[in-house]
Amino acid sequence: MSIVMLLFLLTAAVYFVSGGLFFLYLLGGSSRFASLAARALALSVGLHVVFLVADYYRAGRTPLATMHELLAVLSLLIALGFLATMRRHRLPVLGAFITPVTLLLFLAAALRGPVPPVPEGVRSALLPLHITVNVLGIAAFALAFAVAVAYLIQEKLLRTRQVGGVFQRLPALDVLDSLGFRLVTVGFPLFTLGVVTGTIRAARLGGGLSFSTAQGFAILAWLFFASVLLSRAAGGWRGRRAAIGTMLGFLCAMAAIGGYVLKSAGG
């Protein structure tokens, strides 16, 4: 077994342990579970960075040269974003929703095939910008997705008057609603720039405006997030509707990434 593979498996294992500890804390475990989970997540982030560096030297190309490497970077950014959010807002319980997303994206990065690097004819000054803003925007949306899931669970518990156990672990609805809104506000302009630069590149390469299925999902994700922000500004989509819109937007963004991964694997 190679060093890179060993680092990958070790990183995934520590992510899994961290997620399990966060989940135990959510179900009513002591605060020690939250502390251990946060430490395990920090350790997994460190291992993740070492894995990316080792993989870079093994492959001899940048970490964003293929979609699979992009997924590895995206999962790292989500974990880092959550650690920063947890440090500021003291919401370790959200790790039960964030860590599984991070782990799944990291594992998806291992499903790599003989994916060639980006051809010379496709490269342009827009490509690095397009990739960077999309990754940052989707990382913010992933955090917003986890907050939205927590909101819907908390809202259902409150509606059914189940005010013990998990209910006491989750933050108040207004806290979740406000945090989700801020995260979508951060991710939306980045994702918008990614959609615009991607459309420009597609038009240049194809000689016109033609969209693949993945690009269609990306635009659909943009519409969902735009609707969430616009409706909030107009006094409409708050709380439950905003959470559902956020979740649908993130799922569309994941479908877009899946489309690009399948396209690259088949190409």
pLDDT tens-digit profile, the chain (267 residues): 688 889 999 999 999 999 999 998 888 777 889 899 999 999 999 999 999 888 888 766 565 667 777 888 999 999 999 998 877 777 888 899 999 999 999 998 876 554 445 444 445 556 777 788 888 999 999 999 999 999 998 888 888 877 666 767 788 889 899 999 999 999 999 999 988 887 776 666 654 445 678 778 888 999 999 998 988 877 666 788 889 999 999 999 999 888 777 766 555
pLDDT given for residue 236 in this prediction? 64
- What is the signed CA dihedral for 88, 95, 223, 197, rounded to 10 degrees? 70
**Taking the model in full, what pTM does it have?**
0.84
pLDDT given for residue 120 in this prediction? 46
Structure tokens at 267: 């190409």
pLDDT given for residue 114 in this prediction? 46
Burial class (CB in 10 A: 0-12, 13-18, 19+), 126: middle
What are the residue ranges spanned by the domains of the chain? 1-117, 125-267
Residue pair 65/59 in contact (Cβ under 8 Å)? The answer is: yes
Rounded CA-CA distance 138/77 in Å is 9
Rounded CA-CA distance 225/222 in Å is 5
pLDDT given for residue 205 in this prediction? 61
Residue pair 36/14 in contact (Cβ under 8 Å)? The answer is: no
Rounded CA-CA distance 129/9 in Å is 31
Rounded CA-CA distance 154/160 in Å is 10
| CATH no. of 125-267 | 1.20.120
